Amino acid sequence: MSVHVSHKEPLLRIAKRASIPAWKAWLIRILSVVLALLLSGAFIYAITGLNPVEVYKAMAQGAFGSERRSWVTIRDAMMLLCIGIGLAPAFKMRFWNIGAEGQILVGGCATAGFMIYFGGKLPTPVLLLLMAAVSLIAGAVWGIVPAIFKARWGTNETLFTLMMNYVAIQITSYCVALWENPVGSNTVGVINQKTKAGWFPELFGQDYGLNVLIVAVLTVGMFLYLRYTKQGYEIAVVGESENTARYAGIKLSKVFIRTMAISGAICGLAGFIAVAGASHTISTSTAGGRGFTAIIVAWLAKFNTFVMVLISFLLVFLQKGAVQIATQFKLNDFASEVITGIILFCIIGSEFFIQYRLIFRGRKEAGKA
């Protein structure tokens, strides 16, 4: 006697989308931002009784309330964007480069060293070119080391690059102690404050104009590199499947090392921009956690450097806005961080609905994505 067992269809299933129209993907992202603003507004009203619109206005004031604030926001967004551009090729290759912080620091140390030892001895244009070159080399070396170990011995690149951050922090601490000014302060101070040797010159009448120009060139260059070159194609193939790449005759070790050299070099260049184009000093906080924040930038943009521009500005806007509302409305840092977290959660969550769709009981799975 056979027993018939019936399986009840689940109320909800999740299926991966084969594809989705671009307009629909952007509509989902826009709706996620609207939802984030509504949820944040409800949170603001619940804990403070303040008009959320006024709070959002204060956030805009914090980021763009004056010409000075606007340019500081642009400067910080360019820094974050530069690091995101550096991470893009490695992450597209599925090489988890968590070492951007260290690559920034070694690039910054190389830059600061040249400013200290050669400032005033070389013309500023020559000094800037040398500082850019040594920061690129330092960052590239910091990227190549874990790539070689991965290619030769199959080491875990996530742990390796993460540990190299700590090595870079110790090197930076040593350099700070070596170059401290004044002696005993445990800080380097502003390098060449009187002569401004090695500082970025004004461009377009702005202190941070050269920052924008350098990162704009990198943005276009990396987009073209990943989209239209043979090496960009190899990165994409390796990222999709290492077995497929081997079958296609792509030498994985070569791609690993070359791509991580590029990734590390650009992150090292970010150290050059941070030291010569912004703070004019070096410390263990020069990277400021942006090496990790830039991972969000690269992933959300799906390695499209033009989309990274928007995401970088959004994240910096949230950071500046959070500081402003904490000050203006006497909110503690935790409240402002909650608002930032809600907005980021909704934006990141929108990617789930772009990649997957919900199928409720009784609905056919076939059909339009």
Q: What is the pLDDT of residues 187-201, one digit of tens each?
A: 999 999 999 999 999
The pLDDT assigned to 11 comes to: 72
The pLDDT assigned to 324 comes to: 86
Contact by Cβ (8 Å): 18, 368: no
Question: Over the stretch 235-282, which tens digit does the pLDDT of each residue have?
Answer: 999 999 999 999 999 999 999 999 999 999 999 999 999 999 999 999
Provide the mean pLDDT of the chain: 90
Contact by Cβ (8 Å): 336, 322: yes
Q: Containing H/E element for 15?
A: strand 12-16
Mean pLDDT, range 81-98, rounded to an integer: 96
Instruction: Look at 12 and 287; give whichever has higher pLDDT.
Output: 287
The pLDDT assigned to 313 comes to: 94
Mean pLDDT, range 126-144, rounded to an integer: 97
Question: Over the stretch 9-56, which tens digit does the pLDDT of each residue have?
Answer: 677 788 888 788 888 888 988 899 889 888 988 888 887 787 888 888
Residue 179 identity: W
The pLDDT assigned to 311 comes to: 92
- pLDDT beyond 90 at 101: yes
The pLDDT assigned to 367 comes to: 46
Spatial distance between the Cα atoms of 91 and 85, rounded to a whole number of angstroms: 10
- pLDDT beyond 60 at 334: yes
HSE-CB for 32 with a 13 A CA cutoff = 19
The pLDDT assigned to 333 comes to: 65
Query: Please, which pLDDT band fits residue 127 given cuts at 50, 70 and 90?
Result: very high
